[in-house]
Structure 1
Amino acid sequence: MNPYRVLAAVAADWGRFGPYLRSVTGDAADTTGAGDASGAPAAPASVLRSLRSLRSMERHAPGRAAAADETARSVLALLPPAEAERLVAGHPGRLAGTLESGMLEDGTPASETYAGFTAADLAFLLLDDNPMVGPLLGPVRERLLSYPMLDDWAAEAHARTPGLIRLRGESGARGVDRIPSFQFGDAATPWPVVVTVNGLLDAARDPWGAADWWLSANGYLGVAPAELLGGGSGQDGQLVGTARYVVEGE
Structure 2
Amino acid sequence: MTRSEDGGTRVLGLIAEHADSIRAALTEEQYRLLLTRLNTLAHIPPDDLRAMRRAFQGVRHCLVPLPYAHPVRKALDSVRLVGVAPVSGLAVLRTRDLLVQLMPPSRPDTTAIIAAAERRLRQAPALSAADVRDRYGGSAPPPELIRFADADLGDRYPEFQFRPGGGAPYEVVLEVNRVLLADADPWGAADWWLSGNTWLGGGPPAALLGIRPDRELVGAAVALVEGD
TM (normalized to structure 1)? 0.43
TM (normalized to structure 2)? 0.47
Does 1 or 2 have the higher relative contact order (CA < 8 Å, sep 6+)? 2
